[in-house]
Amino acid sequence: MAARRSPALLTPLACVAALVLLAAGCGTTGPGDTGRAAPGYPRTLDNCGHRITLKRPPRHAVSLDQGSTEILLALGLGDRMAGTGTWTDPVMKGLEKENAKVPRLADGYPALEKVLDTDPDLVTASFAATLDKGGVAPRDRFAKLGVPTYLSPTECGKAKGSTGDGARTEPLTMATVHREIRDLAHAFDVDERGERLVRRLKARMAKARKADASGTRVLYWFANAESPYVAGCCGAPGVITEAVGAKNVFDDTHDEWPQAGWETIADRDPDVLVLGDLTRKNQTAESAKAKIAKLESSPVTRHMTAVREKRWIPVSGAAMNPSLRTVEGAEQVAEALRALGRTR
């Protein structure tokens, strides 16, 4: 969805034909590489219909979305990363030191040539659109260049033929995020780090679940002031809503981030508004401050219950996407609902 990711125009791929000739070496070798598999390798991952085989732990990976980047950083892999791209927010607190080790190739989509210049031995992404036409490049293009790609399994459950951010036939759960963490930890041969990270996330989510906001109706607004992107039933906001026991007023759609009219939003009159607080400059009403200004000034929305009572909860855009930050979103929403007196 355009609301989540800052698209960047790809530069002309004039050099790709020449790069194809070097595909056998591109991204698959590094300094001192003999071509032999490292001890414990090769390792193969089944990933969204693709099989990824690695002959050794990646040493210069590139992550193309913030969610994927933060998982690698949380696994302590900053010194094995050659670049990052597509950011909506500052890096997660506690990861600043690891993030400082990694070049930022672009705030939005980096050009394919810029990614290839890092000689990547693994490219990771959170969203299928990133590894497709209009994103950085399709997975098959990377494959032809000898660069393995890993797509977050949170994208694998999207309905076939759906557009934009897609629709989910089954609700997302944190178990899928845990799988992503374990997959990447296994790829880099840091399996125990992955297990420790999963245990910490489970403990934090269990604490967030102690908030009981049953009876509270919430709406999630990510971005766009003209035709706002709101959360449907079954993505990361669904995980947050289920954790705190609330109800999403747009849980009647399986679309990940449908666009809704302001009259429809006002008619549903949620008790609480969860507002994406983004720092990127891609669409209108990115920050929570801009969203609040829109809500309070519009004759359509200023009389909504949540607006009159100032019941809004700013949450980072990254926490509204499927990632380890989803737990952060659940914690923030649970704490704010308690402060608003909406929990039992």
- So what's the pLDDT on residue 161? 56
Task: Name residues whose C-beta falls within 8 Å of residue 75's C-beta, 6 or more positions apart in sequence.
Answer: 181, 184, 185, 188, 190, 193, 194, 197
In the chain, count H helices and then E strands: 12, 11
- So what's the pLDDT on residue 22? 34
Nearest to 248 by CA among 239, 238, 235: 238
The radius of gyration computed from the CA coordinates of the chain, to the nearest angstrom, equals 21
Considering the four listed CATH numbers 3.40.50.720, 1.10.3470.10, 3.50.50.60, 3.40.50.1980, the one that applies to the domain covering 212-339 is 3.40.50.1980
> Mapping DSSP to helix (H, G, I), strand (E, B) and coil, where does residue 125 land?
strand
* Burial category of 195 from C-beta neighbours within 10 Å (exposed 0-12, middle 13-18, buried 19 and up): middle
pLDDT in tens, 238-258: 999 999 999 999 999 999 999
* Mean pLDDT (the chain, rounded): 90
- So what's the pLDDT on residue 245? 98
Nearest to 168 by CA among 233, 217, 223: 233
The reply to whether omega before 322 is within 30° of 0 (cis) is: no
pLDDT in tens, 277-301: 999 988 999 999 999 999 999 999 9
Instruction: Provide the pLDDT confidence category of residue 34 given band limits of 50, 70 and 90.
Output: low
- So what's the pLDDT on residue 13? 39
Question: To which CATH superfamily is domain 38-204 assigned?
Answer: Nitrogenase molybdenum iron protein domain (3.40.50.1980)
Chain position carrying tokens 């399709």: 138
3-state helix, strand, coil in the chain (%, to 5): 35, 15, 50
pLDDT in tens, 39-77: 999 999 999 999 999 999 999 999 999 999 999 999 999
- So what's the pLDDT on residue 29? 42
* pLDDT > 70? residue 2: no
* pLDDT > 70? residue 207: yes
- For the chain, the distance separating the N- and C-terminal CA atoms, rounded to the nearest angstrom, is 35
Query: Chain-centre distance of CA 133, in angstroms?
Result: 19
Task: Name residues whose C-beta falls within 8 Å of residue 300's C-beta, 6 or more positions apart in sequence.
Answer: 262, 263, 266
* Residue bearing the bigger pLDDT, 166 or 4: 166
pLDDT in tens, 300-341: 999 999 999 999 999 999 999 999 999 999 999 999 999 999
In residues, how long is the chain? 344
Domain ranges of the chain: 38-204, 212-339
Nearest to 13 by CA among 105, 101, 138, 106: 138
Instruction: Provide the pLDDT confidence category of residue 215 given band limits of 50, 70 and 90.
Output: very high
- So what's the pLDDT on residue 189? 98
C-alpha span between 237 and 258 (Å, rounded): 13
- So what's the pLDDT on residue 159? 75
Instruction: Provide the pLDDT confidence category of residue 157 given band limits of 50, 70 and 90.
Output: confident
Domains 38-204 and 212-339 share a fold: yes
- Torsions phi, psi for 65 (to 5 deg): -140, 150
**CA distances from residue 324 to 16, 92, 215, 270, 284 in whole angstroms, order as listed:** 35, 10, 27, 27, 26
C-alpha span between 17 and 35 (Å, rounded): 24
pTM of the model: 0.89
